């Protein structure tokens, strides 16, 4: 009789779970709340003595299911590198440790001051390993206050910091600059470490510095940050009441994109205005990326990408790497993992799975979703998508094979443009406003 009762309960559980799952999605309950809600509703309909037994046995069944899903995801991320497009750990190291790597141990920062109390501290080696991260773009960021003053110096200091970090923890990290190097490093069990520069103001309006960045290992540059440059408009100029400066890219901005194509450096158009997105897609011969953005149709923040641009991105062969910042996911309210899933699903339904990746922006934001609190939580995304019916092949694309494909195409375009000479133009003086010239000399 006990066996028959349990079988009956399992049938009831299967039916009610399907109904409650749909309801839970509507009310945006996190995973743990969904399961608890289902079990509670079923147990309430049973006699007290059977309800307790049912809840215990059903909880064990659910735990087995979750463990099975995590095992599938773990194996998947063992064979395909999980490539995250944007992590600001170098910036946090600059702020909390003045870039002195000898003052802390990156192995485990969860109980170390001041790291454990800083809302932007999401990364250490233990958590990277738990999160199955296979490759990481570490970001050399310098804020907009440095523009037209010492932004090139600050950017170079951050690139140096990334190299020193990789060297100091060489048992864990290894520099990678190509798709093949990512796969090779991943095959050794290390985390492939790549470099991106966030904010074109870091160039100091110099194509020479762009070439130097590439020689130092930089493989993408975000064209703007929270400020426009003298050659590109940023996303904040799309806010009501703001006026565009260039209505996208200037002529010199187009040259920067062309030189990035020639070098084999990916063009990152997170943070830029919609007009700049459009201009880049008109000019670039290589796939472009959004290293950490969301879908505007899901959250109408100017940092997110409108549907018509997403369609053009697919035609370009590029990728949008979905961000984990509450402000861009849910437009300011508290967010949970379902908000990330909503952005991913919208993009997939609109342009297909071949153009999606993950760019958490960990260590660069102070509010992240429930169930994605730090870099250890990436597997949760894959478990949720597995439950929604995603195939393992599609999950592999999201994890890393999409980005590997794009990097290979960018490298191929570099070869196709090998006949080109370096672009040697200087930014036209008329493009610089008087306030831009305050810290410039007349040296020619």
What are the catalytic residues? 86, 88, 198, 225, 271, 292, 361
For residue 295, what is the DSSP state?
Answer: B
Q: Measuring CA to CA, how many Å separate 162 from each of 137, 196, 197, 208?
A: 10, 10, 11, 21
- In sequence order, the 6+-apart residues with CB closer than 8 A to the CB of 304 are 293, 294, 295, 296, 298, 328
Q: Which two tokens stand for residue 82?
A: 């999980």
Cα 64–chain centre separation:
31
* Strand segments (E) across 247-358: 266-268, 289-293, 319-322, 356-358
Could you tell me which residues come within 8 angstroms of residue 137 by beta carbon, excluding any fewer than 6 positions away? 83, 84, 85, 86, 87, 194, 195, 196, 219, 220, 291, 359
Q: Read off the DSSP letter of residue 267.
A: E
- Residue holding tokens 């306030």? 435
Q: Where are the alpha helices (DSSP H) in 216-250?
A: none
Token pair belonging to 427 = 């930014």
> What's the rounded Cα separation, in Å, for the pair 247 and 229?
12
**Residue 395 main-chain phi, psi, to 5 deg:** -65, -35
Assess contact for 296 and 328: CB atoms under 8 A.
Answer: no
How far apart, in Å, are the Cα atoms of 85 and each of 21, 227, 353, 364, 383?
31, 21, 17, 12, 20
Cα separation, 4 vs 441, in Å, equals 87
Contacts by residues 341-345 (CB-CB < 8 Å, ≥ 24 positions apart)? 341/381, 341/384, 341/385, 341/388, 342/298, 343/294, 343/295, 343/298, 343/299, 344/381, 344/385, 344/398, 345/388
CA angle (223, 227, 231) in 5-degree steps: 50
Whose CA is closest to 407, among 347, 319, 323, 321?
Answer: 319
Residues constituting the chain? 444
């Amino acid at each position: 009789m006990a066996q028959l009762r349990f079988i009956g309960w399992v049938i009831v559980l299967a039916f009610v779970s399907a109904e409650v799952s749909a309801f839970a999605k509507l009310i945006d309950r996190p995973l743990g709340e969904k399961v608890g809600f289902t079990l509670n509703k079923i147990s309430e309909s049973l006699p007290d003595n059977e309800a307790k037994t049912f809840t215990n046995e059903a909880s064990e069944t659910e735990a087995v299911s979750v463990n099975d899903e995590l095992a599938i995801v773990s194996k998947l991320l063992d064979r395909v590198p999980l490539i995250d497009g944007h992590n600001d750990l170098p910036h946090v190291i600059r702020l909390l440790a003045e870039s002195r790597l000898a003052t802390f141990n990156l192995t485990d920062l969860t109980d170390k001051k001041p790291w454990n109390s800083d809302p932007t501290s999401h990364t250490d080696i233990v958590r990277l390993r738990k999160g199955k991260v296979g490759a990481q773009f570490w970001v050399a960021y310098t804020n907009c206050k440095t523009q037209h003053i010492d932004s090139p110096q600050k950017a170079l200091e951050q690139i140096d910091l990334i190299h020193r970090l990789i060297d100091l923890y060489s048992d864990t990290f290894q520099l990678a600059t190509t798709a093949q190097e990512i796969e090779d490093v991943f095959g050794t069990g290390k985390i492939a470490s790549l470099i991106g520069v966030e904010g074109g103001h870091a160039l100091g309006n110099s194509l020479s510095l762009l070439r130097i960045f590439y020689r130092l290992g930089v493989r993408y540059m975000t064209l703007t940050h929270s400020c426009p440059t003298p050659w590109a408009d940023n996303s904040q100029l799309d806010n009501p009441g703001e006026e565009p400066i260039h209505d996208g890219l200037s002529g010199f901005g187009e040259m920067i994109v062309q030189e990035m194509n020639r070098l084999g450096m990916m063009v990152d158009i997170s943070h830029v205005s919609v007009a700049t997105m459009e201009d880049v897609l008109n000019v670039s011969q290589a796939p472009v990326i959004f290293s950490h953005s969301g879908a505007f149709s899901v959250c109408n923040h100017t940092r997110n990408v409108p549907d018509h641009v997403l369609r053009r991105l697919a035609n370009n062969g590029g990728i949008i790497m979905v961000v984990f910042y509450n402000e861009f996911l849910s437009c300011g309210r508290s967010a949970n993992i379902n908000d990330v899933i909503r952005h991913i699903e919208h993009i997939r339904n609109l342009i297909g799975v071949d153009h999606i990746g993950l760019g958490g922006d960990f260590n660069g934001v102070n509010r992240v979703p429930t169930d994605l609190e730090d870099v250890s939580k990436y597997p949760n995304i894959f478990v949720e998508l597995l439950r929604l019916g995603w195939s393992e092949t599609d999950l592999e694309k999201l994890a890393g094979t999409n980005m590997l494909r794009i990097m290979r195409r960018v490298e191929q375009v570099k070869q196709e443009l090998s006949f080109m000479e370096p672009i040697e133009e200087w930014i036209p003086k008329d493009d610089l406003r008087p306030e831009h010239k305050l810290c410039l000399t007349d040296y020619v």
